[in-house]
C-alpha cells in the first residue's frame, strides 16, 4: 500500500497508539515494538527494515499457494470490477458463490454436496453448532444439545468457538465454556502415554468419548468435534487407531461427527482433507484458511446429504452472514482450489515435498532439545524437553518455546511456539531448497535455545 508513515518507528508508534492485536500481551508488545510486514513472494515475507523472512507457518496456517499468486490477484480484481458485492439471502445467488459450491462438492468427500458460507473458521464453527441444534430439533430429539470437544482443541475465538475449543486460558477470561459444551483429553501420546503402544493409547484416548457420552446421557449428546491434527494445541497427531474408534463410538450412539478442517483442509496433510488422511467420514466439515490460501477471508461448512434432507423441508433456517458467499471471496477461493487441483499441488505434498519435509524434521529429532517430532504432509511439531531421556519437561512449560520463537524472529524464520512445542506449517508450494533453508535456520535457533537453557 502507499506508505502513510515513513519509518518503522513511526509505524510502531501509530500501531501502539491505535491497534489492539489478537492473542497479544499488549504491554509486552508495546515494550518491544511491533514488527511491520510489508510484502510477500512465494514462501518469503519482508519487513519494514528490509529483512527477508522464510515463512514456516504460511501466515497462520493458510497461505497454501504462497504469496503473490498473480491468478488470484487478477480474479479478485476482475470480480471487484464486475460485482464487488451482492448477498446470497432472499432467493439470490451470484455466479462465483454457486460456482465455488459446485467445485467444493467435487473436491470434498463423497456424499458432501452442500456448503454454508462464512468469513472465518470461527464463524463456520458457530454455523456448525446452529446446524447441529437445528438438525436434532427437526429430527424430533430436541434434548440432544451437548457438543463434545477436546482439551486444548482450537475452534476459533467467537464465544461459541471458544466453548467448542478446550483452551483453558480462553475459558478463564470469560464464563466459558457455556453449559452444553463438554471436553475430553487430547490424544497426545508423547505427553500422556509414557511407553504405551501408540495404537493402544489411541483407543484409550478415543474411549474417553464413550465415557463422557455415558456420563452426560446418550440422549443429550448432539455431536463430537475435533481437528484431525490439533494445530494450535501443538500439532498433536493422533495415533492411527484414534479416529476410526471415535467414528465407531459416534455411530454407536447416533452422534454427529464434525471434522474441523480449518488447518488440515486443502492439502496440508497430503490429502484434500485431514479426515481422509486419518480414515474417517464426518457428517460435517468446517473449512477456512487454505480455502482461499488466505487471499480472501472465507469459510464454509460442508454438510452431508442426510442433514440437508432433514433440514430442507422444515422452513427457514434463521442463520447467515452479510458476507456469506461474498462474490470476491468465492471467486478467489474458486481460483485457488482450481490451482490446487490442476497443478497437482496436493499430490506433490503427498508424494514428494511432504515426505521430504517429514524426513528433514525427523532429523531434528536427534537434537538434544527435541524430545518428540510429529507431523504429516507439510505440518510438524517438535516438543522441546529439559531431559529427553527421562521425558522431563521444562518448568514452567512455555518459557523455552518463547525463547526459541524469539531466536526465530531474530534469524528471519517464522516458527510458532505452543507451550514448548515448535510448530511448522509452510506454504504447500515450498521447494526442496527452501525446505533445506527452513531446517538450517530452525536448527540454528534450536542450538541457540539449547545454549540459553543449558541443555548443551
Ligand atoms: C482448527 C481451527 N479451527 C478454527 C479456527 C478459527 O479460524 P479463524 O481464526 O479464521 O476464525 C482456527 C484458527 O486458527 C483453527 O486452527
Look at residue 456 and tell me whether its pLDDT is greater than 90: no
The predicted model gives 336-343 an average pLDDT of 98
Specify the ligand 1 atom closest to the Cα of 227.
1
**Mean confidence (pLDDT) of the chain:** 97
Q: Are strands 413-414 and 52-55 parallel, antiparallel or unpaired?
A: parallel
Quote the percentage of the chain above a pLDDT of 90.
98
- Determine the distance separating the centroid of ligand 1 and the alpha carbon of 298, expressed in angstroms: 11
Cα separation, 401 vs 3, whole angstroms: 34
- Asked if the model's pLDDT at residue 309 lies above 90, the reply is yes
271-299 tens-digit pLDDT: 999 999 999 999 999 999 999 999 999 99
Does the beta carbon of 225 sit less than 6 angstroms from any atom of ligand 1?
no
The answer, yes or no, to whether any atom of ligand 1 lies below 6 A from the CB of 413, is no
388-408 average pLDDT score: 96
Q: Indicate whether residue 232 lines ligand 1 (CB < 6 A).
A: yes
Q: Is the CB of 227 under 6 A from ligand 1?
A: yes
Give residue 5's pLDDT: 87
pLDDT computed for residue 402 by the predictor: 96
Dump pLDDT digits (tens) for 50-68. 999 999 999 999 999 999 9
Domain residue limits, the chain: 35-68+345-452, 71-342
pLDDT tens digits, 361-389: 999 999 999 999 999 999 999 999 999 99
Q: Helix/strand/coil (H, E, C) string of 400-429?
A: HHHHHHHHHHHCCEECEEECCEEEECCCCC
Q: Give pLDDT, residue 234.
A: 97
The CATH topology of domain 35-68+345-452 is 3.90.1150
Query: Looking at residue 194, what is its pLDDT?
Result: 86
Residue 177 scores a pLDDT above 80: yes
Measured in Å, residue 120 CA sits from the centre of ligand 1 at 7
**Rounded distance, CA 122 to CA 160, Å?**
8
Write the secondary structure of 31-55 as one string of H (helix), E (strand) and C (coil): HHCCCCEEEEEECEEEECCCCEEEE
Q: Interior CA angle at 210 toward 284 and 228, to 5°?
A: 40
Reported as a pLDDT band with limits 50, 70 and 90, residue 1 is low
- Average the pLDDT over 95-119 and give the result: 98
pLDDT for the residue 61: 98
Return the residue whose CA atom lies nearest to atom 3 of ligand 1. 155
Looking at residues 120-132, what average pLDDT do you find? 98
- Note the CATH architecture for domain 71-342: 3-Layer(aba) Sandwich (3.40)
Q: When comparing pLDDT for 262 and 6, which is higher?
A: 262
Share of the chain above pLDDT 70, in %: 99
pLDDT for position 2: 56
Predicted local distance difference test score (pLDDT) of residue 312 = 97
108 has a pLDDT exceeding 70: yes
User: Could you tell me if 247 and 280 are in contact, meaning their C-beta atoms sit under 8 angstroms apart?
Assistant: yes
Q: Is pLDDT at 3 greater than 80 in this prediction? A: no
Find the 163 Cα to ligand 1 centroid distance in Å: 13
Q: What is the pLDDT of residue 49?
A: 96
Contact, 66 vs 429, CB < 8 A?
Answer: yes
256 vs 132: CA distance, rounded Å: 8
pLDDT at site 144: 98
Q: For the segment 403-439, what is each residue's pLDDT rounded down to a tens digit?
A: 999 999 999 999 999 999 999 999 999 999 999 999 9
Amino acid at each position: 500500500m502507499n506508505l502513510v508513515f515513513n519509518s518503522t518507528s513511526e509505524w510502531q508508534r501509530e500501531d501502539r497508539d491505535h491497534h489492539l492485536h489478537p492473542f497479544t500481551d499488549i504491554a509486552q508488545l508495546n515494550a518491544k515494538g511491533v514488527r511491520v510486514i510489508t510484502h510477500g513472494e512465494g514462501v518469503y515475507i519482508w519487513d519494514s527494515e528490509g529483512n527477508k523472512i522464510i515463512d514456516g507457518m504460511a501466515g497462520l496456517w493458510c497461505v497454501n499457494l504462497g504469496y503473490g499468486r498473480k491468478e488470484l490477484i487478477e480474479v479478485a480484481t476482475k470480480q471487484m470490477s464486475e460485482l464487488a458485492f451482492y448477498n446470497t439471502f432472499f432467493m439470490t445467488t451470484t455466479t462465483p458463490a454457486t460456482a465455488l459450491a459446485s467445485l467444493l462438492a467435487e473436491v470434498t468427500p463423497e456424499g458432501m454436496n452442500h456448503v454454508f458460507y462464512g468469513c472465518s473458521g470461527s464463524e463456520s464453527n458457530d454455523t456448525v453448532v446452529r446446524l447441529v441444534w437445528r438438525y436434532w430439533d427437526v429430527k424430533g430429539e430436541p434434548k440432544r444439545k451437548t457438543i463434545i470437544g477436546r482439551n486444548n482443541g482450537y475452534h476459533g475465538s467467537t464465544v461459541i468457538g471458544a466453548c467448542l475449543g478446550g483452551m483453558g486460558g480462553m475459558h478463564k477470561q470469560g464464563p466459558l465454556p457455556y453449559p452444553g459444551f463438554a471436553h475430553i483429553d487430547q490424544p497426545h501420546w508423547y505427553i500422556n502415554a509414557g511407553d504405551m503402544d501408540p495404537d493402544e493409547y489411541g483407543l484409550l484416548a478415543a474411549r474417553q468419548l464413550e465415557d463422557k457420552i455415558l456420563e452426560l446421557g446418550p440422549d443429550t449428546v448432539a455431536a463430537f468435534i475435533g481437528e484431525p491434527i490439533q494445530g494450535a494445541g501443538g500439532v498433536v497427531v493422533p495415533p492411527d487407531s484414534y479416529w476410526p474408534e471415535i467414528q465407531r463410538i459416534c455411530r454407536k450412539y447416533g452422534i454427529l461427527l464434525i471434522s474441523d478442517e480449518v488447518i488440515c483442509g486443502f492439502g496440508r496433510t497430503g490429502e484434500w482433507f485431514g479426515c481422509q488422511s486419518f480414515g474417517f467420514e464426518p457428517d460435517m466439515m468446517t473449512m477456512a484458511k487454505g480455502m482461499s490460501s488466505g487471499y480472501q477471508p472465507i469459510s464454509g461448512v460442508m454438510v452431508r446429504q442426510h442433514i440437508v434432507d432433514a433440514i430442507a423441508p422444515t422452513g427457514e433456517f434463521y442463520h447467515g452472514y452479510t458476507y456469506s458467499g461474498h462474490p470476491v471471496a468465492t471467486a478467489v477461493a474458486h481460483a485457488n482450489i482450481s490451482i490446487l487441483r490442476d497443478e497437482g499441488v496436493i499430490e506433490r505434498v503427498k508424494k514428494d515435498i511432504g515426505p521430504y519435509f517429514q524426513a528433514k524434521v525427523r532429523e531434528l529429532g536427534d537434537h538434544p532439545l527435541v524430545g518428540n517430532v510429529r507431523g504429516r504432509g507439510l505440518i510438524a511439531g517438535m516438543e522441546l524437553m529439559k531431559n529427553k531421556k527421562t521425558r522431563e519437561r521444562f518448568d514452567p512449560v512455555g518459557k523455552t518455546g518463547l525463547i526459541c520463537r524469539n531466536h526465530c524472529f531474530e534469524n528471519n524464520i517464522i516458527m510458532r511456539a505452543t507451550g514448548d512445542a515448535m510448530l511448522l506449517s509452510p506454504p504447500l508450494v515450498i521447494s526442496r531448497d527452501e525446505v533445506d533453508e527452513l531446517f538450517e535456520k530452525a536448527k540454528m535457533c534450536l542450538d541457540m535455545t539449547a545454549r540459553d537453557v543449558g541443555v548443551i
